[in-house]
Amino acid sequence: MLKLLQLEVLKLRRTLVWPAVLGLPLVPAAVNLGWFTATGFRGRDWAEPLGNAQVTWFLLLEPLVLGLLAAQLTGLEGYSGGWRLIFAAPRPRHEGLLPLGLLLLGLSLLMMVIMGGMTALSSALLPLSGTPNWTQFACDLGRGWLASLGLLGLSMWAALRFSNFLVPLGLGAAEILLAFAGLSQPLLSPWWPWSLPILAAQPPDGGSALRLLLISVGLGVAFALLTVREAERREV
């Protein structure tokens, strides 16, 4: 499995994956610096830039990035005819999908770590009041990442189901409207993959995020099964 993952990583050279993974997580930190510098940041509490970065990432950027990465990872195989070779191999077809899923999961974690680190570094440049609660910030990011499993599974399924690169990318681009639509409906938002990450990172009314995390894991498993089914039904 490790060799398969290394092979998938090698395929990412000269693609949009690494610029997206290394560049887009810097956006929340840059937005914080620009916003607080323009509006005046003296006397602001540490919790404000840390919370703003979570909203920028989990609500506005992450779904778009996951759609882009899923489209790139599956597109590399689709354009080169690699799926035909992978599915023709004498092994269960889901084993050919597993390295891609693990790679997408690892890249999403890497992006969140970069985003959190750069947000902390940029916030340290501002004369903020109070003491930062780094443990709480790390827990918030961890919950948001775990709650992204449903969105990650959806992106992977859409990228494999529709061979057109624009479908998963367009699905990610439409997430802004979908996320706000979900947040505006209290009954829908806990089941909406686009709104789950920010709800888990910042539970409304101080509630528990455990239910949201369980729902996201369940959605992730459901979309993983749909992805495997899509692979099984394809003709070699």
Q: What is the pLDDT of residues 125-152, one digit of tens each?
A: 887 787 888 999 999 999 999 999 998 9
Using CA atoms, how far apart are residues 226 and 220, in angstroms rounded to an integer? 10
Mean pLDDT, residues 200-214 = 79
C-alpha closest to that of 20 among 161, 115, 126: 115
Distances 20 to 14, 25, 62, 200, 235 between C-alpha atoms, Å:
12, 8, 11, 24, 32
C-alpha closest to that of 73 among 16, 142, 2, 132: 16
pLDDT value, residue 229: 83
For the chain, the farthest-separated pair of C-alpha atoms sits apart, in whole angstroms, at 64
Using CA atoms, how far apart are residues 3 and 130, in angstroms rounded to an integer? 47
Name 45's bridge partners. Answer: 129
40 vs 216, which has greater pLDDT? 216
48 vs 73, which has greater pLDDT? 48
Mean pLDDT, residues 159-185 = 70
DSSP 8-state secondary structure symbol assigned to residue 15: S
Residue 109 pLDDT exceeds 90: yes
Residue 3 pLDDT exceeds 80: no
Mean pLDDT, residues 165-186 = 68
Using CA atoms, how far apart are residues 111 and 29, in angstroms rounded to an integer? 13
Task: Tell me the backbone φ, ψ of residue 16, rounded to 5 degrees.
Answer: -80, 0
Q: What value does the CA radius of gyration of the chain take, rounded to a whole number of Å? A: 19
pLDDT value, residue 154: 87
pLDDT band at 45 (very low <50, low <70, confident <90, very high): confident
Helix (H, G, I), strand (E, B) or coil at 143: helix
pLDDT value, residue 136: 92
Q: Are 53 and 32 in contact (CB under 8 A)?
A: yes
Mean pLDDT, residues 75-94 = 58
Mean pLDDT, residues 95-121 = 89
pLDDT value, residue 86: 59
Residue 54 pLDDT exceeds 80: yes
Mean pLDDT of the chain: 80
pLDDT value, residue 191: 78
pLDDT band at 212 (very low <50, low <70, confident <90, very high): confident
Predicted TM-score of the model (pTM): 0.84
Using CA atoms, how far apart are residues 206 and 92, in angstroms rounded to an integer? 44
DSSP 8-state secondary structure symbol assigned to residue 13: T
pLDDT value, residue 41: 59
Work out the end-to-end distance of the chain between its first and last CA atoms, rounded to an integer number of angstroms.
23
pLDDT value, residue 181: 67
Name 129's bridge partners. Answer: 45
Structure token pair of residue 71 = 């489209």
pLDDT band at 180 (very low <50, low <70, confident <90, very high): low
By CB neighbour count within 10 A (0-12 exposed, 13-18 middle, 19+ buried), where does 165 fall? middle
Q: Which helix (H) or strand (E) holds 173?
A: helix 166-173
pLDDT band at 57 (very low <50, low <70, confident <90, very high): very high
